[in-house]
Structure 1
């Protein structure tokens, strides 16, 4: 057998079943910064959430938990108005959050699954915002007008007298990110290096448990193209729980979900080199495990781990064989600024490692080799930026899916000066996420990953789940719906949207979903979608044709 691993040094008008949050924030730049923020970013701005206006309308229908948020903020000399809706099909229907306490026994905890948000900004269809909210703090990314912005809790990165509570957000551009030495140039040690473990098939001490893979005859009959979802188990050790989650179960789970959502978004947009309709591959969170206290094995209380030893210790949990992939989130420094480690899936029959891998005996231990880990702490002891955590995790899981590092060829490692689009995600040295290629897999990566998917998707990939709460008539445009007029639509009382959540006749929109929709079509420029109100402290808003999401509210100055 050959083991391969990698070392990585709304405001819309809805009916009953919704709630609306409107958040308005303004940015300023701290005059005095006492922390190490300038070692991470060449420039940044800070948002104080106390300079905000929040409007919250809760549905009288207590059975529905959906929220629609309109998020306003000003930074980098521009104003953003973003409409976000919760993502309800990101967690498996039988999702479990298991928390290990001081007695070392797991206890299931409840976790709201509607806290991952996505949407558009200023009505621009090419924009994208993804992230989470916690007590007014937004953590996520905003892609707008060719720029990628990161937004997150400033307290993680700034130790200043004026940052003494959870009331500030850090805003930065991807091209402002500074990677630590050992990560940023081709002439420095890579934060990512390959290690190959060659174990003979004839080794009498090596056992492969082929029985752990699902039998096709026992699966629900599905076409190959619908098996596009890798169910992942995300594990947080006690160091991550304390360092990033700050001893809070909800914050720990929310951070992991935020990162995996961003990774899933990258993968779902990738077209793999298979037969037709081979895009839409991604992840679904089946289970989260959080350790509040040190235990043993990979979660033992120790000052430092060797990167390989940590991966091997983490892989000794044979439960992971029940999932497509298992990922450990930790918060500790490694020599050489190592940020992660992953087994690479070989694109050949009869070998183990990476996604869907069966159990195998390694160093006298039965091990799950569909594993990887990533750390949120660099060699200086600082917490990495959320955008860096996104990229590292996406890179590591790319290895689990079979991608090697991009070779130095013009196709897979194009010259930035010539292409203007930068290196791809699997480049051996760090990418910032600023250049267009940074969030894409190269042709070389897609070819290798495609070969692995051909071999393994039938054994452990699943159909994408659909939340049972995503029903026509909830006032939210869910997957497969063209519109959703809420209660009126259920009784065919909306002239634009029928009770099957499909547009009627020549209709292109419904006012039930879009304020810049008039007579079932996009409203013309200048159409007043909201009148000024002294109660809400917002000026009148006007539509900007042809964007139906362009009813942007602005506070009175």
Structure 2
């Protein structure tokens, strides 16, 4: 275990005590479900040994490199179980890795090294099981097949067997052993998050509630691995990076039903020493990490949220901690996660939980009467205050309501810009949730699309629809100017002879109604068809 840091100076200790006093009223405490943490958490329980083959009968052969062009855009394979045959259909998760994605590690003298690697053709997939409506799959093919398969109201884990070619363990997720633990979430009860006080709900914001809910939101995420995590993974830099991306791939799959996409803009590994004090005290570690993020990470890497994956076993039963309703703030948009399972799935579930707190989600307690489509003995829902096995993989009705309430209050203003993602070797794809050149809209796959203005099959606007996305798009129409919509003005001549400041590096599609700013006043820019495609519009 990591050595404890020396006692904090009196001034620092006083600041931490005052912060604790502010955050304590809404702090959620986990139930003590375990007496301690083992030095290693091993997979256990019964499993079935299976092999994977392509649909033509050839055995599936793993590729060696995580960013190899040999990883196909689509992958269909067969798993033969004792009782049934599964046909798994996968598509590469093209929206997972941003075009600005960087990998950062450190030299012996402490100098940071940031690499820009071409992750086009990467090995992280989402998909479904043929013949099982509502089934979901999130897998990595980087080093064999590893991931999560949900079908028939049950969730299973697929992972490679050691020292065996094309042999895999296939078992129910409840057999994946993990440390029981609890989350301790904190909120700033003063109403301040970062430098900005959340504005009170307004009539305008209420009008846009439905629009913000159906709009796809994008979290530009950085995941950091501390030094103890690096050591626990055998001091293998590539292995740690793959694990972090695999965690993000699972989290993205968990959040897709909420119309939220996770876009990785960076991973960082503290392979020399920790860049801030990470101890067994989760409260202190959280504040140290958030301070480091604000002072060191944000100035060199633009992002919306950062999460620390730690190999340190926190005190008590805490396995994660994050501030509540802090998304997009400079000071508090982040959290810490204990890597408490051999499988990346354990850290993925905890990260999704802590990210949920950043979104304003509270714990699913009995008093709240939350509806969860997964039974407790199958894992329950992600915002359960205590996590053990089986791992939860879905959100409850309470989490959805909490998210709606946070968005209505103005939380998450950074989530509505569309990140640029790594281009696909197979070209653009309708249904990935990203409006690409030639598309008027994109609301995801048909089974997950909730946008009434967009045809999910063709990625075109529905008949009579003028727009499908944007804060100034209401009921498939551009919000008219006037006292009911002071943030949106008619914009047919906004581009004539003027330069405007926007949020993104490229112009959005014609079906997007966006806000642009000129010296403090907010206007609507609705692009005519002739201005579609890429083009700079920053001042």
Note whether the superposition's TM-score is higher than 0.5: yes
Whether 1:308 and 2:302 are equivalent positions in the alignment is no
Partner of 1:374: 337
Q: Distance in 1 between matches of 2:163 and 2:377?
A: 41
Q: Deviation at 1:266?
A: 1.8
Native 8 Å contact 2:372 2:395 kept in 1: no
Shift of residue 46 of structure 1?
Answer: 4.2
Q: RMSD value over aligned CA atoms? A: 4.2
Confirm or deny that 1:425 pairs with 2:382: yes
1:349-368 matched pairs, under 5 angstroms: 354-358=326-330, 368=331
> 1-side partners of 2:377 and 2:52: how far apart?
36
Q: CA deviation at 1:344?
A: 1.3
Q: Give the alignment partner of residue 343 of structure 1, picking from 295, 304, 323.
A: 323
Alpha-carbon offset, residue 66 of structure 1: 4.6
Q: Distance in 2 between matches of 1:325 and 1:99?
A: 19
Other-structure match for 2:79: 73
Describe the SS at the equivalent of 2:182. coil
Task: Check if 1:266 corresponds to 2:238.
Answer: no
> Which residue of the partner structure matches residue 115 of structure 1?
123
- Once the two structures are TM-superposed, the CA of residue 295 in structure 1 deviates from its matched residue by 4.0
The answer to whether the 8 Å contact 1:116/1:258 transfers is yes
Q: What is the rounded CA distance, in whole Å, between the counterparts of 1:85 and 1:40 in structure 2?
A: 28
2:107 alignment partner in structure 1:
101
Report deviation, 1:269.
Answer: 0.2
List per-residue Cα deviations over 1:401-453 (Å, max 9, x = no partner). 11111231373177998x9987432122226457xxx4333333222222222
SS in 1 for 2:387: coil
Shift of 1:231: 1.2
Give the distance between the partners of 2:283 and 2:339, measured in 1 at CA. Answer: 17
**TM-superposition CA deviations, 1:282-314 (whole Å, max 9, x none):** 321122112222144236xxxx52111211111
Change (3 A) 1:171 1:333: farther
TM-score (norm 1): 0.58
Tell me the secondary structure at the aligned position of residue 247 of structure 1.
coil
Q: 1:87 to 1:194 in 2, by over 3 A?
A: closer
SS in 2 for 1:336: coil
Q: Which residues of structure 1 form unaligned runs of 5+?
A: 10-34, 155-162, 184-189, 202-206, 214-222, 271-279, 346-353, 359-367, 378-382, 482-500, 504-557
1:235-274 maps to which residues of 2 (within 5 A)?
235-244=224-233, 246-270=234-258
Query: Which residue does the alignment assign to 1:126?
Result: 134
Contact 2:124 2:142 in 1 (8 A): no
In structure 2, distance between residues paired with 1:326 and 1:133: 25
* Pair 413,421 (structure 1): closer, same or farther in 2 beyond 3 Å: farther
**Are 2:219 and 1:230 equivalent residues in the alignment?**
yes
Q: Secondary structure at the match of 1:148?
A: strand
Tell me, yes or no, if the aligned pair for 2:186 and 2:324 is still in contact at 8 Å. no
Give secondary structure in 1 for the equivalent of 2:400.
helix
Select which of 432, 443, 452 maps to 2:397. Answer: 443
Contact in 2 for aligned 1:84/1:120 (Cα 8 Å): yes
- Structure 2 portions without partners, runs of 5+: 1-18, 32-38, 200-210, 435-456, 460-539
- Deviation for aligned residue 1:100: 1.9
- The count of aligned residue pairs is 382
